[in-house]
Amino acid sequence: MSHKAKRILSESWVELKNNFLPVISFLTLILGIITRFFPKLTLLGNIIIVIAIVMFFFSAFTVVLRKKHIEIPIMFDENTNVNDSLFGRFINEMNFDAKLVNNDIKSLSIGLIENKNPRASKEPDDWKKAWNEIMKKWEELEKQVRSKIDKGIKYIVFPHVPIPLSFALGASVNLRRPIRLYHYQEDSFYPVLRIQSRKYLFPEKISDKYRPPEIYNNFDQNLSTNDKKLDVYISIGRHEINPIQYSQNCHFIILKYDNLNPEIVWLPYVQHIVKIVNGLINNYKEVNIRLITPSVIAFALGMAFSRSQNITVSTYLDNNYFQVFSLKTIENEYPLGSGKKRLPFS
């Protein structure tokens, strides 16, 4: 079986587990009750009941596949000069009706004006302005699409932006929209993450097939100065992190995975990270997130922690970390320069 087929099956299992297993359990219970109270039911009768259950299951599956959502592919980019090659290939992988954007396909690439790209900036204001610009353009696109449809919207997102900005964008969308995230690696696109609702990021149980990250921390040390501050390093890949150099007089934790295979679903790995960090953040007044991950991971983590206003995400420049975006910004300052504050997409 090819890697692509395995990934599709794995992704389908996640969808099946989240949507249909409760229905199957219920129907199995009903079948057990019928068998108990009608023990003389013939083999043919049992077969008919099983066929009816199977038909019901596939009918439910068809209903779910026809959910009232239309998929909108968007690419967040570092500039407004559309990378025609990369963007074109991303859009070509989608079955998208261009009429929804008046045949202006390039409007699906949401980029930054050149002098607003914060990648080389240590200033939080630069990052806030970049975030605000993309969010406004995103909302304008949604209004345009909504004027032409009467269905919900599911976004297919390719975040080709600096990691802290991707985290901020994910936190802004929160869980108000279903999202599918595409990762670009070795000249190919991979749909590595699909997040439909809160239970996708906060499941009751994580599959045993997916290992948790390696964990390093200094929680056992007697820190006399500041036990109300936590630095969280999340690393995907073979990167060396020396927290002693950056996290002085505070707690730190490192969550580390080696390179992830883009041909399999990444959601369980994200779930492990979310579970560990979510169990810590309420114990600290200040939590600094420091990411060395693909942008799609940063986006998904932003979605998970969007309601935690004690979180700030950092960028790495000049051999040091700088806090550049606080999640308080989303609820307290959006949109920037407006007298009437509100949440994005509200």
Helix (H, G, I), strand (E, B) or coil at 179: strand
pTM (whole model) above 0.85: no
Give residue 3's pLDDT: 47
Condensed to tens digits (0 to 9), the pLDDT of residues 82-116 reads 666 788 889 888 877 788 887 888 889 998 876 78
- Average pLDDT of the chain to the nearest whole number: 84
Residues 6+ apart with CB under 8 A from 128: 325, 329, 333, 336
Give residue 56's pLDDT: 66
Spell out the alpha helix ranges (H) of 66-195. Answer: 84-92, 124-146, 163-173
Condensed to tens digits (0 to 9), the pLDDT of residues 283-334 reads 999 999 999 999 999 999 999 999 999 999 999 999 999 999 999 999 898 8
Condensed to tens digits (0 to 9), the pLDDT of residues 268-280 reads 999 999 999 999 9
Of 169, 179, 199, nearest in space to 275 by CA: 199
Q: Is the predicted pLDDT of residue 58 greater than 70, yes or no? A: no
Residues 6+ apart with CB under 8 A from 130: 112, 116, 117, 118, 165
The Cα–Cα gap between 261 and 88 comes to 24
Domains and CATH numbers, the chain: 3-65 (no CATH), 69-195 (no CATH), 209-333 (3.40.50)
